[in-house]
Amino acid sequence: MTTPPAPGLLARVKRILLGRPFATSDEDHHLLPKRLALPLFASDPLSSVAYATEEIMLVLALAGAAAFTHMIPIAAAIALLVVVVVTSYRQTVRAYPQGGGAYLVTRDNLGAIPARVAASALMIDYVLTVAVSVTAGVAAITSAFPSVLPERVWIAMAFVAFLGLVNLRGVRETGRLFAVPTYFFFVMVMAVLATGFARCLGGTCPAAETASVAIEPELGAVGVLLIMRAFASGSTALTGIEAIADGVPAFRRPKAGNAAATLAIMATMSITMFLGITSLSLLFDVRVSEATVDTYGSVLSQVGRTAFGGEGVLFFALQAATMGILVLAANTAYQDFPRLSAILAGDRLMPRQLRNRGDRLVYSNGIVVLSLMAAALIVAFDATLSRLIQLYVVGVFVSFTLSQTSMVRRWWKLRTGRWRRSMAINAVGATTTGVVLVVVATAKFAKGAWAVVAAIPLLVLAMSRVNRHYEWVATQLSLFRERRRPPLRTEVIVLASHVSQGTRRALAYADTLGADRVQCVHVEEGPRDSFWLDWQAPNADIPLTVLRPRRRGVVRPLRAFISDIRWEHPRTRVVVVIPEWQSEPRWLWRLLHHRASRIKAGLIGMRDVVMVNIVLSPRPLLRGRGTPPPPPTERIAVVPVGGVTQATLDTIAYVRWTDPVALHPVHVELEPEYAERTQEEWARYYPDVPLEIVANPFRATVPVILDYIRRIRAEAPPGRVVEVVIPEFVVPGRMGRALHNKTARSLRARLARDPDIITTTVPWLLKDEAEAYSAREV
């Protein structure tokens, strides 16, 4: 059995909250059967019936209570639309069993830009799904307990945090947790329908509490535009249908067959509940308007109160079930937003960190991003359902229309099997959803849908910008580019703040490099700096340069000094050796190490500057035992290899110049195919040096590299020191740095705690944009 790495303090807290990590090989054991997939992926469309009828009635109320008679035809049209869309998506699921939904279908058949439009619409819809579902769930609570209405924002935020935490624990565990509330809601709604229709069998239906409430018409009569608005508002019943198409990989085999069957079950349950609630609302003479909804409660609560004969146990059970399903409906977005984000990141349209899978085999970064965005939306709209709902649905129908249009094009190109029938089904779906999209966008535009219409192209532009950046980086690192000319000479600078054992150890290391010149550099930081006097007696034979800056700070004068060297001797590599002491107490060492890290951050943007970090621990000497570690005269080089790129080749060239006694290149496997390709490319360039592939069952790159380094150190003969040489390509600009993983930085930070290991960073600056870097003073 594979064992996860030993956890530290933060990792132990994380394990308490999320559970033990799952190995990648265990993924098949976490695939979902239909009974768990249904509540996980279909909670959104199933929950929509709790407020879809109410949304229709709120619009019709503008023409007075008499307009409620139009509910049944509108609900029937929406139910027919659900059948059309579900039938179309069953075709999509079978054609694209790898998941991805509207984005992949559109990308393969209509091209990149329409695909980005579909993805943008879906992502906006998923964020709105969480915000609307949680807000609707809170509204159910406030209907039963009006006294908590002022705290609705905090309650909603707590639900979002809960959903995020539960989803971070893994798909299968989430499915088990959410199955009971989803099925309980279905049972309670069916109980309401059975009881309500049974009480109407005698010919007289019970009247709702609001049956006598007068609703003053604001419009003269029911017109086409009002019917269109009511239809658009009721179309919220379709939200979440695409979720199953996006999440096909989470199903048990046969994945496509189980996903298609789940779609059919979901549609049957959703239509039954929706039409039943709408019919009882009309039979019970339920009345609702913007002015009365907070006083008398939601339409579903009024129907339940009337059917059950008052506010008894069954009524409160219905409210609890409604609250549960409305909040858990957000889980549909938690399943699909991270998956879609990972697919987009794989296509270089989103930050690649969104591809990372967490300890529990879920895309943790996507879950966190979704939670933060939904929480921001809830705060911005004060957890008010009537305001948030206006933004809803537009994105859904954009993705519906593009997806079905893409399938029409696909069948036309393939012309296999019963392609005419399939194309006709998707054509009907595309036409219907396209018409509804126009209706919804027109009806809701002034109410708030304009924000979604404006956000979609902005998100498309952002994706295009991210894609251009990643393509540019790939071009710069490509092995097909002409190699940069190697440096003609090398100078070593030992940066010293005071004369110490660490300084002497750093100088001993510098002497092993065989550089053209080695010198010590000290930056004065005050008028009482006595470094010169301390240095002269024991180190008179070693060149010393004292920099006296006009203002306090180390980075600026050091950069200027390095620039002068390279101006005097072009094509010179400068190796900066930074000795550090592990000080007591630990907080003081962290403070000093933070200062050293800022120095390295200021130098990493300079071309042909290599940084070496040597940490010396004083603990054995302070306790009166032990001796300082031996001078690093013989070095074993360990080089982490993420891929064979220009940066990797430059790093290996540097390592070979330093002439270590042994070279250990290591690649941590994240994806088997990529690891195999990396090994083949490595063998093409370095057939005499084998690349070691290290398994990474828990997808934790840095701990795996650290374990490998410790093993090499344990096997090293006495007198030899391990030097970890880290290749790092440097991207200018805040956006560029944000779009890349911080593996090299994290590895350096972890290695800085170990005084027995030398850490060397070989930066590779992309193109000429390195000049855009500006040093920050320390």
3-state secondary structure of 42: coil
Lowest-pLDDT range, 119-128, 354-363, 614-623, 658-667? Answer: 614-623
Closest residue by Cα to residue 113 from 622, 456, 576, 561: 456
Decide which of 463 and 247 is more confident: 463
Place 32 in a pLDDT band, splitting at 50, 70 and 90: confident
Query: Do 336 and 136 form a contact (C-beta atoms < 8 A)?
Result: no
Burial 720-755 (b: 16+ CB within 10 A, else e): bbbbbbbbbbbbbeeebeebbeebbbebbebbbebb
Contacts of 190 (CB under 8 A, 6+ apart): 272, 273
Residue 772 predicted with pLDDT over 90: no
Output the pLDDT for position 625: 41
The band of 252, judged by pLDDT with boundaries at 50, 70 and 90, is: confident
**Of 45, 65, 47, 52, residue with least CA distance to 389:** 52
* Tens digits of residue pLDDT in 262-292: 999 999 999 999 999 999 999 999 998 877 7
Structure tokens at 231: 């239809």
Contact between 531 and 499 under an 8 Å Cβ cutoff? The reply is yes
pTM: 0.84
pLDDT score of 712:
93
Q: Which residues, at least 6 apart from 700, have a Cβ–Cβ distance to it below 8 Å?
A: 4, 5, 21, 359
Average pLDDT for the chain: 84
For residues 757 and 368, the answer to whether their CB atoms sit within 8 Å is no
Rounded to 10°, the helix 49-60/71-95 angle is 140
Q: Are 146 and 342 in contact (CB under 8 A)?
A: no
How large is the greatest C-alpha to C-alpha distance in the chain, in angstroms? Answer: 111
- Give the pLDDT score at 580: 79
- Residue 348, pLDDT > 60, answer yes
**Angle formed by the axes of helices 224-234 and 49-60, to 10°?**
160
Assess whether the previous peptide bond of 254 is cis (omega < 30° from 0): yes
- Neighbour tally for 17: CB within 10 Å: 10
Residue 754 contacts by C-beta under 8 Å, 6 or more apart in sequence?
Answer: 615
Range with lowest mean pLDDT among 431-445, 510-524, 674-688: 431-445
With contact defined as beta carbons under 8 Å apart, do 139 and 385 qualify? yes
Asked whether residue 574 carries a pLDDT value surpassing 90, the answer given is yes
CA distance 755 to 494: 17
Regarding beta strands 634-640 and 662-668, do their DSSP bridges make them parallel or antiparallel, or are they unpaired? Answer: parallel
User: How far is Cα 150 from Cα 754, in angstroms, rounded to an integer?
Assistant: 53
Would you state the pLDDT for residue 624? 39
pLDDT number for residue 752: 79
Q: Do the strands 544-547 and 634-640 form a parallel or antiparallel pair, or are they unpaired?
A: unpaired
pLDDT band at 620 (very low <50, low <70, confident <90, very high): very low
Q: Quick check: bond before 97 cis, omega within 30?
A: no
| pLDDT number for residue 771 | 40
Region 507-526: mean pLDDT is 87
**Which of the residue ranges 7-21, 91-105, 551-565 would you say has the lowest mean pLDDT?**
7-21
Q: Alpha helix (H) ranges present in 219-347?
A: 224-234, 243-246, 255-283, 293-296, 299-307, 313-328, 330-346
Say what the pLDDT of residue 584 is.
54
* Among candidate residues 290, 286, 289, 300, the one with its CA nearest the CA of residue 209: 286
Pairing of strands 720-730, 634-640: parallel
Within 517-618, residue ranges assigned H as helices are: 531-536, 555-568, 586-603
- Which tens digits make up the pLDDT trace of 396-436? 889 989 998 998 999 999 888 788 988 988 898 888 888 88
Q: Show the tokens assigned to 147.
A: 């006294």
- Comparing C-alpha atoms, which of 277, 268, 274 is closest to residue 196? 277
Alpha helices in 604-742 (DSSP H): 619-622, 646-658, 672-685, 701-715, 734-738
